[in-house]
Amino acid sequence: MTNDLMLDTATAGLPSQVVRRMILSEPDITGALRLMPRLPHMGGRTYLLGDASGRIAGVEVSPKAGVRILGDDGPLFHTNHALLSQTKAVENPALLQQVYPSTYDRYTSLAGAAGSLNSVADAMRVLRNRAGAPNAVAKSYSREEATETACSIVCDPAAGVMHVCLGLPRVGAFVAHSLASNGTVRRRSGPISPVARADTQQTLLQVHARSLRNPREVRPGSRSRFLRG
């Protein structure tokens, strides 16, 4: 899982989409952390990593700061601002305020839930948090910040299950998928509920309508992620 960071950029290197595919080819976090410093990163990014053993790690990267490890113990929280001194040193505060002004509020909400996270259900509850809406963990569009939660994911690596909710998460909207050892994903639970389907369709229609009005207004969706072993 990744988040945007408003850090320095480079004109040569690998975009995050390629980096993700290379990370996924590694068997575990040890391999991923060995690989990442060898890659030429084009921009700022946070990666939250997990493997089948239940181990997790958080990494912030930038062309100048390199690969910086947040930690390998949980829980770890991240939104869209840098947390480490090395990456903060190359952060663009003006751009961060322009693109993700809600990042600090969303981080506070996530971190405030640390003491109550003991299960997958707890993680889903946190990702549904609408406190401070529209600039909430479950982010909806606002004139201040033209982003919204497109998808919420809770991974349980040790159990081999990924729970996915399209659109703003609501009760019963998460769908469980099995993570096979060969990398394939298979839905475990039944069909998507009418509530979840309607919520997803409404989200897509709203994003499409705004993109037609002002293509520059729609930016990559707010990605408040939770990953815990």
- CA–CA distance, 119 with 94 (Å, rounded to integer): 37
Structure confidence at residue 176 (pLDDT): 92
Structure confidence at residue 130 (pLDDT): 86
- Dihedral sign, Cα of residue 141, residue 192, residue 120, residue 229: negative
Q: Rounded to whole angstroms, what are the CA distances from 108 to 101, 163, 227? A: 13, 23, 16
Q: Report the candidate in 55, 58, 10 with the shortest Cα–Cα distance to residue 36.
A: 58
Q: Kindly give the parts of the chain with pLDDT less than 70.
A: 72-74, 114, 171-172, 181-229
pLDDT in tens, 92-151: 999 999 999 999 999 988 887 767 788 899 999 889 888 888 888 888 888 889 888 888
| Sequence-separated (6 or more) residues with CB below 8 Å from residue 23 | 32, 35, 36, 47, 49
> 105 and 144 in contact (C-beta within 8 Å)?
no
**Which two tokens mark 144?**
């201040």
Angle formed at CA 36 by CA 33 and CA 37, multiple of 5 degrees: 100
Structure confidence at residue 219 (pLDDT): 41
- CA–CA distance, 58 with 80 (Å, rounded to integer): 13
Residue written as tokens 């815990």? Answer: 228
- CA–CA distance, 100 with 33 (Å, rounded to integer): 27
b/e 92-122 (16+ beta carbons within 10 angstroms → b)? eeeebeebbebbebbbebbeebeeebeebee
